[in-house]
Structure 1
Amino acid sequence: MLNEISSELEKEKLKEAALDMSSIKPILESRLTSNSFQDEISEFFREVAALKGQSVHDTLNQMVTGTQKYLEAVNTPIEFKNGLPTDIDKFVDKLENISIGIEACWDLFSPESRQFFIDIANYFCEAASKLQGWTGLLIKLRLFLPSIFRQENLFKKYKDSFLLIPKAVKMAIELRESKRTTQLEATAKFLLEQAREISKKQQYLLPYLKHLGRNTEEQIEKNQAAMAWAKARMEEIERKRNQRNS
């Protein structure tokens, strides 16, 4: 099982969740400085904040940080040799950042992504149990000299990292089971759908603005006014649609 850790950390499910995080990140960041979103979205953040027992601003900051760390982790490749990561620190940082993203943004992930995190948490728990026996002893011997050189117990650091994702998933689930919230999942689904729609609209605009940027990142940076206009227009259309349906 330990030889399969690399493939687990490169699964498409992690990247699919990252696509949602990429779409939601601009909404989270703009929400810190703007009150332009619909009442449903504002209520979502208030409910999550109440769930965590903190302010809305602190909750948003946590989500922004969690989103950044998750995206950073998914885009960090890990090399393995003989079943062990060639860089223990890089491996641990990847798992830690994924865990931070899972715990901070649990409500923003799709049901499919949350189930995947539950599955991968169980996988890591099973893998961690194998480090208690003969397999763990062999790994400890292989890390003995590097640990002396670093003056750090690399085996313990490696072993403890296997429980980072399981702990994050467990805390996220237990928190939501201990406190009832009003339509939190339905509102989160609405937010995710809106984020995806905004992302699609932004990608649609980019081909018409190529002369303003040498690459996608520069286009986005230099065309904030156009993006803001597109977002405002979408919100206006959405409000009118809601009014017609009410």
Structure 2
Amino acid sequence: MVNGTLLEKEPDRLCESTADVNSIQLILNSYLNPHSFSDEIDEFFREIAALRGESVENTIEQMKEGTRKYLEAVDTKIDFEDDLPSDINLYVEKLEKLAVGIELCWDLFSDESRQFFINWAYQFTRQANSKFLGFQGFMIQLKLLIPSLKTQENLYKKYKDSFLLIPKAVDRAIELRKSKSTSQLWITAQTLLKQVKTMNVKQPSSLLPYLKHLGRTPEEQLEKNQAAMAWAKSRLQEIEDKRNGNKI
């Protein structure tokens, strides 16, 4: 069950990333309350908004939407039959929501979650580059022929394209932050996330942070993953080139 394995890969890590999202929701909701955060956190969200070329209000709303979709995706159960999702549209919708959540909330995810998503992107890219070739690809097309006729849509293409949703989201998130140093954003986010996770929040004002520099830099983390990400990115480009030329 290749696809099931990818979605269920490292279940403990997925649970921790889901815990991140719940904490991110709390942070975003509390930020909207006057005087909930220090000037440093206010500046943190202004920096993220500037990085995206959006207003702070739009950025917050987008991130809230990202957390909502991510949590919906985690709660969506996917059944598999003969190595294929029994409901292709539900499977694709799940991946779309996960991808949106990952990309929109990238700055507030823990370092461990980011590494998990980078590995996820690598694994999905590998599958996208091999699963739909030769006899295996032909069998998938055959299995999806009747369901496609019933729904009057190309489920094979939809399924194949879904394997690039998370890799593209991760790639866009990383590329955007290469335009400027985001070390301080990363430090602030990691500290805030850890603080929210470890405290029993009763009032929004209790989220007032006193931030210190903690841990490694995101640059150090990305450096450790350069080989995997370079491989995944080259495969993404190769797949896109082939598809644009109608070779796949």
TM-score (norm 2): 0.79
**Which consecutive aligned stretches of 4+ in structure 1 deviate over 6 angstroms post-superposition?**
none
Determine the structure 1 residue equivalent to 2:59.
59
Aligned-partner Cα distance in 2 for 1:141–1:72: 31
Distance 1:53-1:66 versus aligned 2 partners, 3 A rule: same
In the TM superposition, residue 149 of structure 1 has moved relative to its aligned partner by 1.0
Structure-to-structure mapping, 1:94-113, within 5 angstroms: 94-113=94-113
Letter in structure 1 aligned against 2:30: S
Q: Counterpart in 2 of 1:43? A: 43
* Residue of structure 2 equivalent to 1:218: none
Q: Does 1:135 align with 2:136?
A: yes
After superposition, the C-alpha distances for 1:76-106 in whole angstroms (9 at most, x for unaligned) are 1111111000111110011000000010001
The answer for the alignment partner of 1:8 in structure 2 is 6
Q: Give the drift of 1:194.
A: 2.4
Give the aligned residue type for 2:16.
E
User: Which whole-Å CA distance do the structure 1 matches of 2:175 and 2:156 have between them?
Assistant: 29
Q: Which moved more, 1:44-53 or 1:3-12?
A: 3-12
**Structure 2 residue runs without a partner (length 5+):** 213-248
Whole-angstrom distance in 2 between the partners of 1:95 and 1:126: 16
Which residue is equivalent to 1:88?
A: 88
Which one has a larger percent helix, Structure 1 or Structure 2? 1
| Higher radius of gyration, 1 or 2 | 1
For residues 234 and 35 of structure 1, do their structure 2 counterparts lie closer, same or farther at Cα, with a shift above 3 Å needed?
Answer: closer
Measure how far apart 1:34 and its partner are. 2.8
SS in 1 for 2:105: helix
Q: Is the 8 A contact 2:37 2:207 kept in 1?
A: no
SS in 1 for 2:78: coil
Give the superposition deviation at 1:234.
Answer: 5.8
Name the CA shift for 1:188/1:153 in 2 (closer, same or farther; >3 Å): same
Contact 1:70 1:97 in 2 (8 A): yes
Given that residues 73 and 95 in structure 2 are in contact (C-alpha distance below 8 angstroms), is that contact kept between their aligned partners in structure 1? yes
Cα distance in 2 for partners of 1:60, 1:116 equals 24
Q: Structure 1 pair 233/156, CA: closer, same or farther in 2 (3 Å)?
A: closer
Calculate the aligned-residue CA RMSD, in Å: 1.8
Q: TM-score, normalised by structure 1?
A: 0.80
- Aligned AA (1:43): E
Contact (CA 8 Å) 2:100, 2:169: kept in 1 or not?
yes
Q: Is the 8 A contact 2:107 2:186 kept in 1?
A: yes
**How many aligned residue pairs are there?**
209
Q: Which blocks of at least 5 consecutive residues in structure 1 are unaligned? A: 203-226
